[in-house]
């Protein structure tokens, strides 16, 4: 039971306090004094229930100190802090409570009873009517609920970098597992840019359970996440945000995280996203848990499978098979560029799976004359070149050529003579929008489950990792993004014998 506290309705500080509380801001001093006369003051201890979902009561609680949580279906929807009123609906109707309010801190509140306000002998009907109009305005204003919901974002996801199959599935599974643990999950609408801007409209609330979604769907920005489990692309990310490398920009992101009272920050993406999240983790207080989930076609995070790599190789290999069929039919030599900025995982494994004739990786050292000689008497060839092939050399020369074109120029300079028609194809970005396959959807689910365990036990600055049947975690300080590939597999992809 709440403890009744001494209360002097004539106290000028009470009137001044009420004047700052919605929906009383438009009342005169005399009207506020009449209202204050009807109130009592009580105290709630941590964990004490203020009212329960389904209750029929006519009281509202104006918080003076402390904080209350408001739950629907046992899930916290929002918090009420000092200067806010909890239980507004009881002031205008007889409907049962739509949720449960609990004290999350020692809380004192002024209590107002609708039935006392309805008693004409105790309270002027004119003032009551004026207050009812304000209550109705607030109750029908969804944007005010939106502001309140985003004021404290428990778990915040931030995605950045190049798109890859699996961003959406892992987002859905993270929401599912953390919501099961009664956590509230939010997401940046446009990656690091949203963190820097920090406006309410820059964020979305993710909800996995249908019953909870039906309770919240009227609030702007609330998204039902299960359809994301098999969705293409990434609904909540932006192109690489290079400005985020600047310290002053990062400090703006930190300010947003702290002002929004984020407790868990989860970065989702490739090596660039990890670099940004890792920097933030060092700038944030230890109380904020920080995690990273690897989603990248090129598998550019060492020591784990990466969400997106399986779909990427499957689609990449199928594209190569199409080139090979066309090359056989028309006696062509295709030199095609695929992903692989550092190690060349995607280019290598796509080449291997499709049976292409040569994989040229960032680490490859081929003698152009030997390759040119091998092509001399062939009537069909497909060569796969990773996008990172001689990238520094190309940059130093200010070469406008992509990796495939650059390799072709090397062959021509080495005296290439072939009856095949040589065609260079640049990197095809449609792979990024491929529908995630079952392997990547399963991997997303496993990583989300592991992440929920790490959150639960209080870990921070770690990445869930999966290799075959093993699930574990890698600390941020041990994460490598060098995208190494097995030299033996690279040799296996050399069917020209060069």
Query: Mean of the pLDDT values across residues 185-202?
Result: 95
| Spatial CA neighbour of 347 closest among 307, 313, 305 | 313
Query: What are the angstrom distances between the C-alpha of 313 and each of 50, 271, 277, 347?
Result: 55, 19, 27, 8
Query: Mean of the pLDDT values across residues 202-206?
Result: 96
Question: Helix, strand, or coil here: 24?
Answer: coil
Query: What domains sit in the chain, N to C, each tagged with a CATH number?
Result: 3-140 (2.60.120.10), 155-307+436-467 (3.40.50.450), 312-433+487-492 (3.40.50.460)
Query: What are the angstrom distances between the C-alpha of 304 and each of 188, 267, 310, 457?
Result: 25, 16, 12, 21
**Alpha carbon 392 to chain centroid distance?**
32
Q: What is the pLDDT of residue 368?
A: 95
Out of 103-112, 120-129, 133-142, 391-400, pick the least confident.
133-142
Q: What is the pLDDT of residue 143?
A: 62
- Strand runs labelled E in 162-288: 185-188, 203-207, 222-224, 264-269
| DSSP string computed for 4-63 | EE---TT-HHHHHHHTTSTT-TTS-HHHHHHHHTT-EEEEE-TT-EEE-TT----EEEEE
Model pTM? 0.85
Q: Looking at the predicted structure, is the pLDDT value of residue 384 above 70?
A: yes
Q: Looking at the predicted structure, is the pLDDT value of residue 354 above 80?
A: yes
* Separation of alpha carbons 491 and 439, rounded Å: 26
Query: What are the angstrom distances between the C-alpha of 95 and each of 7, 53, 140?
Result: 29, 11, 16
Tokens 């996008």 sit on residue: 387
Q: What is the pLDDT of residue 141?
A: 63
Question: Helix, strand, or coil here: 96?
Answer: coil
Query: What are the angstrom distances between the C-alpha of 127 and each of 29, 57, 115?
Result: 12, 22, 14
| DSSP string computed for 439-450 | HHHHHHHHHHHH
* Separation of alpha carbons 147 and 416, rounded Å: 66
- Strand runs labelled E in 339-380: 358-360
Residue 210 vs residue 134, higher pLDDT: 210
Query: What are the angstrom distances between the C-alpha of 380 and each of 213, 232, 327, 352, 417?
Result: 56, 34, 5, 17, 14
Strands 462-467 and 470-475: antiparallel
Q: Which token pair is 364?
A: 């490859």
DSSP assignment, residue 153? -
Q: Which token pair is 410?
A: 């090397």
Query: What are the angstrom distances between the C-alpha of 356 and each of 34, 179, 326, 353, 486?
Result: 85, 45, 13, 8, 18
Q: What is the pLDDT of residue 140?
A: 64
The percent of residues in the chain predicted with pLDDT above 70, rounded, is 98
| Spatial CA neighbour of 316 closest among 340, 343, 341 | 340
Q: What is the pLDDT of residue 403?
A: 96
DSSP assignment, residue 337? E
| Spatial CA neighbour of 114 closest among 44, 61, 54, 51 | 61
Q: Looking at the predicted structure, is the pLDDT value of residue 236 above 70?
A: yes
Q: Which token pair is 90?
A: 């009881």
pLDDT in tens, 115-170: 888 888 888 989 888 888 877 777 666 566 778 889 999 999 999 877 899 999 99
* Separation of alpha carbons 337 and 355, rounded Å: 16
| Spatial CA neighbour of 226 closest among 179, 183, 187, 172 | 172
Q: How confident is the model at residue 238 (pLDDT cuts 50, 70, 90)?
A: confident
DSSP assignment, residue 429? G
Q: What is the pLDDT of residue 142?
A: 58
pLDDT in tens, 20-48: 998 888 899 999 999 999 999 999 999 99
DSSP assignment, residue 245? G
Question: Helix, strand, or coil here: 339?
Answer: coil
15's CB contacts (< 8 A; 6+ apart) are 29, 32, 33, 36
The percent of residues in the chain predicted with pLDDT above 90, rounded, is 69
Query: What are the angstrom distances between the C-alpha of 461 and each of 188, 249, 447, 458?
Result: 19, 21, 15, 10
- Do the beta carbons of residue 308 and residue 295 sit within 8 Å? yes
Question: Helix, strand, or coil here: 83?
Answer: coil
pLDDT in tens, 56-93: 888 999 999 999 999 988 888 889 999 999 988 887 77
* Separation of alpha carbons 347 and 345, rounded Å: 6
pLDDT in tens, 246-290: 999 999 999 999 999 999 999 999 888 999 999 999 999 999 999
Q: What is the pLDDT of residue 294?
A: 95
Q: How confident is the model at residue 190 (pLDDT cuts 50, 70, 90)?
A: very high
Query: What are the angstrom distances between the C-alpha of 40 and each of 33, 101, 159?
Result: 13, 18, 48
139 forms bridges with which residues in the sheet?
A: none
Burial profile 122-135: b = 16 or more Cβ within 10 angstroms, e = fewer: ebeeebbebbbebb
CA-based radius of gyration for the chain: 30
pLDDT in tens, 292-348: 999 999 888 888 999 999 999 999 999 999 999 999 999 999 999 998 888 889 999
Query: What are the angstrom distances between the C-alpha of 318 and each of 78, 323, 325, 368?
Result: 48, 9, 11, 27
Q: What is the pLDDT of residue 37?
A: 92
- Do the beta carbons of residue 165 and residue 308 sit within 8 Å? yes
- Do the beta carbons of residue 158 and residue 171 sit within 8 Å? no
């Amino acid at each position: 039971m709440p403890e009744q506290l001494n209360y002097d309705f004539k106290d000028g500080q009470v009137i001044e306090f009420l004047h700052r509380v919605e929906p009383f801001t438009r009342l005169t001093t005399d009207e506020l004094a009449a209202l204050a006369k009807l109130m009592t003051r009580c105290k709630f201890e941590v964990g004490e229930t203020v009212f329960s979902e389904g209750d029929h009561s006519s009281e509202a609680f104006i918080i003076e100190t402390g904080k209350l949580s408001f739950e629907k279906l046992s899930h916290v929807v929002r918090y009420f802090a000092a200067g806010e009123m909890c239980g507004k609906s009881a002031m205008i109707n007889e409907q049962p409570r739509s949720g449960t309010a609990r004290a999350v801190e020692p809380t004192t509140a002024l209590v107002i009873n609708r039935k006392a306000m309805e008693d004409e002998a105790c309270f002027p009907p004119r003032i009551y009517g004026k207050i009812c109009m304000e209550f109705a305005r607030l109750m029908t204003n969804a944007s005010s609920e939106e502001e309140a919901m985003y004021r404290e974002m428990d778990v915040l996801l931030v995605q950045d970098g190049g798109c890859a199959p699996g961003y959406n599935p892992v987002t859905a599974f993270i929401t599912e597992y953390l919501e099961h643990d009664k956590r509230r999950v939010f997401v940046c609408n446009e990656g690091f840019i949203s963190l820097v801007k920090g406006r309410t409209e820059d964020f979305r609330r993710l909800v996995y359970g249908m019953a909870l979604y039906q309770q919240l769907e009227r609030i702007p920005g609330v998204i039902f996440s299960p359809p994301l489990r098999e969705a293409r692309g990434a609904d909540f990310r932006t192109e690489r945000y290079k400005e985020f490398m600047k310290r002053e920009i990062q400090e703006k992101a930190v300010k947003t995280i702290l002002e929004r009272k984020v407790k868990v920050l989860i970065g989702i993406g490739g090596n660039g996203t990890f670099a940004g999240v890792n920097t933030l983790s060092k700038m944030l207080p230890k109380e904020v848990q920080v995690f990273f989930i690897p989603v990248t076609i090129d598998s550019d995070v060492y020591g784990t499978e990466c969400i997106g790599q399986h779909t990427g190789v499957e689609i990449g290999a199928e594209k190569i098979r199409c080139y090979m069929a066309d090359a056989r039919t028309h006696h062509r030599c295709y030199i095609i560029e695929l992903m692989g900025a550092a190690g060349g995982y995607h280019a290598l494994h796509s080449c291997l799976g499709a049976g292409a004739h040569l994989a040229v990786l960032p680490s490859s050292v081929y003698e152009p004359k030997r390759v040119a000689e091998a092509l001399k008497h062939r009537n069909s060839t497909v060569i796969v070149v990773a996008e990172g092939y001689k990238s520094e050399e190309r940059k130093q020369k200010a070469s406008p050529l992509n990796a495939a074109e650059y390799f072709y120029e090397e062959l021509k300079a080495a005296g290439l003579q072939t009856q095949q028609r040589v065609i260079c194809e640049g990197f095809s970005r449609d792979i990024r929008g491929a529908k995630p396959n079952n392997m990547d959807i399963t991997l997303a689910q496993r990583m989300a489950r592991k992440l929920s365990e790490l959150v639960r036990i209080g870990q921070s600055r770690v990445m869930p990792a999966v290799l075959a049947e093993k699930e574990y975690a890698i600390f941020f300080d041990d994460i490598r993004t060098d995208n190494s590939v097995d030299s033996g597999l690279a040799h296996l992809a050399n069917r020209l014998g060069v």
